[in-house]
């Protein structure tokens, strides 16, 4: 009989030779991936040495994630392994990005102890398309920066300002984007930041507004950090000398209004989130230094 010839294998012997279960081989055979080379007199499928090599190839391609349809296309010469592999790399990359987003959302949910509604919102924000994310930022820019009477240099900076989440973001970037998107969609935050911008934006033909250097150049913050490290109290006489060195004869009340507007707006939080989304190293959070400076200015007003 044909199935007794040493060069012919029954499906059972093929399973023994390859280590693939008979049930799996039968399915692959039915789908055309490993067709029999013939039939025995009893109607059983028969295979040969070439079938063994074909089973090994099918198993390899399946372990790499190819579907059986793609495997049959490769074996039938309708496409190449390289072409299929390229398509699968792209699909895997997309899946990896999706899993990173899911991981970041779940990490944020765990840290915040979020409700079901908050979790759904964070997931939607994290999975927005690039165009949808850009629209959120553009609407925010128009409400906060639109119509400001600024010089051409600053106008160009505001026009080109963007916050782009990369195609392959880290969990921290996704987490920062979720928080930033929630923040910039808040009407109260937009209004407070607009007030801060109006108080601190240089106007063409005029000098820098009192206190603007705190936010634009940050020299004041660096100075305050140094005196705080020495333990200088904001209500003490040395603090008054620091204020004189920083602001000279500038309108202290205007400086304080500028400072308080930025603190109330959460400008430091916003700055830090933008840097995190961009994957940039930002300067340390200056909230404590700014609070120290505000206390010093209030103490000076009372004295």
Give the pLDDT score at 202: 67
pLDDT tens digit sequence for 253-277 = 888 888 899 899 998 999 899 999 9
Q: Mean of the pLDDT values across residues 121-135? A: 79
Return the pLDDT at 5: 59
- Banded pLDDT at 4 (limits 50, 70, 90): low
- pLDDT attached to residue 86: 81
Percent with pLDDT over 70 in the chain: 89
Question: What is the predicted pLDDT for the residue at 214?
Answer: 63
pLDDT at residue 211, rounded to an integer? 65
Looking at residue 34, what is its pLDDT? 93
Burial 24-51 (b: 16+ CB within 10 A, else e): bbeebbeeebbebeeebeeeebbbbeeb
pLDDT in tens, 17-28: 999 999 999 999
Q: Which pLDDT score, from 0 to 100, does residue 93 have?
A: 77
Q: What is the dihedral of CA 32, 38, 44, 49, to 10 degrees?
A: -80
Q: Report pLDDT digits (tens) over 43-57.
A: 899 999 889 988 998
Q: What percent of the chain has pLDDT over 90?
A: 25
Looking at residue 76, what is its pLDDT? 85
Higher pLDDT, 267 or 5: 267
- pLDDT for res 1: 44
For the chain, strand residue ranges (E) read 9-10, 38-39, 45-47
**Average pLDDT for 84-97:** 77
Which tokens hold the place of 226? 């140094």
């Amino acid at each position: 009989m044909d199935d007794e010839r040493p060069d012919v294998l029954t499906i059972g012997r093929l399973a023994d030779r390859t280590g693939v279960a008979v049930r799996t081989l039968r399915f692959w055979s039915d789908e055309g991936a490993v067709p029999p080379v013939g039939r025995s007199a009893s109607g059983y499928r028969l295979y040969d040495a070439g079938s063994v090599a074909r089973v090994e190839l099918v198993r390899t391609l399946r372990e790499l994630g190819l579907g059986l349809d793609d495997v049959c296309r490769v074996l039938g010469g309708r496409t190449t392994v390289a072409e299929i592999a390229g398509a699968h790399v792209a699909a895997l990359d997309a899946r990896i990005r999706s899993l990173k987003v899911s991981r970041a959302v779940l990490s944020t949910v765990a840290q915040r102890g979020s409700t079901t509604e908050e979790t759904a919102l964070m997931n939607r924000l994290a999975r927005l398309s690039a165009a949808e994310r850009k629209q959120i930022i553009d609407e925010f820019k128009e409400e906060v920066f639109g119509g400001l009477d600024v010089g051409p240099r600053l106008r160009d900076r505001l026009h080109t300002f963007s916050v782009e989440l990369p195609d392959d973001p880290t969990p921290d970037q996704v987490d920062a984007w979720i928080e930033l998107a929630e923040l910039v969609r808040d009407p109260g935050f937009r209004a407070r930041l607009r007030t801060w911008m109006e108080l601190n934006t240089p106007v063409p033909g005029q000098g820098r507004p009192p206190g603007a250097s705190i936010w634009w150049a940050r020299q004041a913050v660096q100075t305050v950090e140094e005196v705080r490290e020495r333990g200088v109290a904001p209500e003490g006489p040395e603090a008054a000398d620091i204020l004189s060195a920083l602001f000279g004869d500038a309108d202290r009340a205007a400086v304080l209004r500028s400072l308080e507007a930025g603190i109330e707006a959460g400008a430091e939080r916003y700055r830090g989130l933008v840097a995190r989304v961009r994957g940039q190293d930002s300067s340390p959070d200056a909230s404590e230094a700014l609070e120290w400076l505000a206390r010093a200015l209030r103490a000076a007003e009372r004295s």
